[in-house]
Structure 1
Amino acid sequence: MKAILPRTNNANKRYLHSIIAGLILLLTFTGFAQSYYLKSVFGGDALSILLHIHGLVMTLWILLFMLQVLLIATRKQVLHRRVGLWGMSLGLLVMLIGIATAIDSARRAQAEPGGLSFLATSLGGLLVFFALITLGLIYRRQRDFHSRFMLLANLSIIAPAIARLPLDVIERGGLSLVFIIKDVCVLAFVLYDLANTRRLHPATAWASLLIIVSFPITRMIGALPIWIDIAKWLVS
C-alpha cells in the first residue's frame, strides 16, 4: 500500500520555492562577484577558458532553476515541462564541466596541503547534485517528489558561493564552517517541510541526508592513501 502524504499548501510552497531560488541566485552573484561577475572591477589574474565555461554553465543553470520555479509559481506547467527536458542536458553539462574544473583546480593546488584530498569532496558534491536532479527527472510526474529533489539539488551546490562571500568569519571558519552553513540551509528547508506537511516527506528526508553525510564521507575518503593515488592519476 502506498503511503498517503498530507497535502501541502500549494500557494505557500510556490512562494517558498521562489524565495529560495531568489536567494540562491543572490548568493551566487555575491559569492562570485569579485572573482567572476565583476572581475573587471576588482581585477586579479585572468581566468582560463575552462573557468569561463564553468562560470557560464553554472550561471545558466541557476537562471534556469529560477525560471522553472517562476513558471510553476505562475501556473505555466506545460512550458515548465518543455524547458525541463532541455534543462536536464544542461544539468549533465554542469556535472561534466564541474568535474573537469575540479580536476584542473586540484592539479594547480596539488602542492598545497589538502589539495588532492579536497578533490574527493568536490567530485562527491557533483555526484550528489547529479543524483538528485536525476531523481527529479525520474519523479517528474510526481510534483511533490520532483520539486523537492530539484530544490535540494540546487541547495547542494551552494558551498562554493558561500566560501567566496567577502566575510571575515567565512575566511576564519574555513571549509568546515562553509559546509555547516550549507547544512543549516538544508535543515531549514527540512524543518519548514516538516512543519508544513506535518510529516517529513521521503524525498526531503533522503535528499537532505545524502547532502549532509556527503561532506564527512568524502573528507574521510580524501584522507585515504588509495584516494591520493587515484587523485594523482586524475591530475597527471
Structure 2
Amino acid sequence: MKITKNNSRRDHLFYPSLAILISATGFAGFSFTYFGPIIGGSYPPSGIVLHLHGWCFFLWYLLFPVQAILIARRKGALHMRLGRLSIVLAILMVLTGVVVLTVRVDDAMRNGAPQIWLLYGPLILSNLVLFVGFYSAGIYMAIKHRFQSHKRLIIVASSIALGAGFFRLILFLSGFHPLSLPVGVLACSLFIIIGIIYDWATQKFVHPVYWIGLVGMLVVEVSLLPEVNGEFVAWINEGLAPIGKYLSFFYPANPTVGS
C-alpha cells in the first residue's frame, strides 16, 4: 500500500481520533459498573485480582490513544518505549481476566447461577484469545517494521477486547436484555468497519488485516453464542470450571460482584 503525503496527514488525524473513540467507549461502559462505584465507595469487596484486571484495562486503553498521538506527532522513540509497557499491561490484563472468568464459570456451574457466565463465559473467553492473537501479531509487525499492518492489528485487537465495556454501555443506556452481552460484544466490530470505510475512502483499497480481523471476530464469536451452538458452549464451560476451581485460591468468587 502506497502512502502519500496527504494520506499521511489524514492518518495522523484519523487514527488518534479512532483510538480516542474506542477508549472512550470502554471508559464510559465501565464508569457505570466499576470506576464510578469505586470512586463513590459503593463497590463491594472483590479481591485484588479483579481490581488488577480493571486497572490494567484502564491503563492499557489510556495508553492506546496516547500511542496513536505520539506517532501523529512523530515521537516514534517514545512510542516504542511505551509499547513495552503496553505489553506488560496486556499480559496482566489477560491473565487476570482468565482467572476471573474461569472462577466465575466454576462458581456458576456449582450454584446454577448467575446464568450469564454459563451462557456467555466462552464468548468472553474468545475476546481474550482473539485479543492476544491480534495484539501479538501487531507487536510482531512492529518488530518487522511493517507499520501499516501494525497499526491496523492494534485497532482490531483493541476493538475486540472492548466487548465487556461496550456491553456495559448498552446495559446502562437501554437496560438489561438477554441479548445485551452478545450485542455489545459483536458491536465492537463497528470500530473495525470504521477502519475499513476509512481505508476505502482514502486509498480505494482495504488492508487485509481489517478483513481478517472482522471475519475472524464474527466467525469465532457467533459460533460461541449459546443460541447458535449451545452444546459447544456447555462443553467449553466443563473445561473452564476445573481451571476456575484451581485458580479460586487467587480470586475467591463473591456472588455480589458481577465484574
Q: Which TM class, normalised by the smaller chain length?
A: 0.7 to 0.9
Deviation string 1:129-183 (CA, Å, 9 cap, x unpaired) is 0111111111101110011001111111111111112534363352232134222
Q: Is the aligned partner of 1:187 residue 2:189?
A: no
**What TM-score do you get using the length of structure 2 for normalisation?**
0.81
Structure 2 counterparts to residues 190-205 of structure 1, below 5 A? 190-205=196-211
> How far 1:62 sits from its partner (Å)?
0.8
Q: Distance in 1 between matches of 2:173 and 2:24?
A: 19
Deviates more, 1:45-54 or 1:176-185: 176-185
Paired residue for 1:169? 174
Paired residue for 1:63? 62
Q: Which runs of 5+ in 1 are unaligned?
A: none
**What TM-score do you get using the length of structure 1 for normalisation?**
0.88
Residue 205 of structure 1 aligns to which amino acid in structure 2? W
Give the secondary structure class of the aligned counterpart of 1:171. Answer: coil
Structure 2 counterparts to residues 38-117 of structure 1, below 5 A? 38-39=36-37, 40-41=39-40, 43-110=42-109, 111-112=112-113, 113=115, 115-117=117-119
Q: Is the aligned partner of 1:146 residue 2:150?
A: yes
> Do the aligned residues in 1 keep the contact of 2:141 with 2:149 (CA within 8 Å)?
yes
Tell me the percent identity.
22
Deviates more, 1:44-53 or 1:146-155: 44-53
Q: Is the aligned partner of 1:229 residue 2:220?
A: no
Deviates more, 1:155-164 or 1:225-234: 225-234
Deviates more, 1:180-189 or 1:196-205: 180-189
Aligned length in residues: 232
> How far 1:231 sits from its partner (Å)?
2.6
| Residues 187, 53 of structure 1: alpha-carbon distance in 2 compared, 3 angstrom cutoff | same
**Aligned residue among 147, 158, 165 for 2:162:** 158
Aligned-residue CA RMSD in angstroms? Answer: 2.2
Q: Which runs of 5+ in 2 are unaligned?
A: 246-259
Q: Distance in 1 between matches of 2:237 and 2:160?
A: 25
Q: Is the aligned partner of 1:27 residue 2:25?
A: yes
> How far 1:35 sits from its partner (Å)?
2.4
> Do the aligned residues in 1 keep the contact of 2:53 with 2:96 (CA within 8 Å)?
yes
Give the secondary structure class of the aligned counterpart of 2:133. Answer: helix
Q: Distance in 2 between matches of 1:56 and 1:167?
A: 21
Q: Distance in 2 between matches of 1:92 and 1:42?
A: 28
> Do the aligned residues in 2 keep the contact of 1:120 with 1:221 (CA within 8 Å)?
no
Paired residue for 2:135? 133
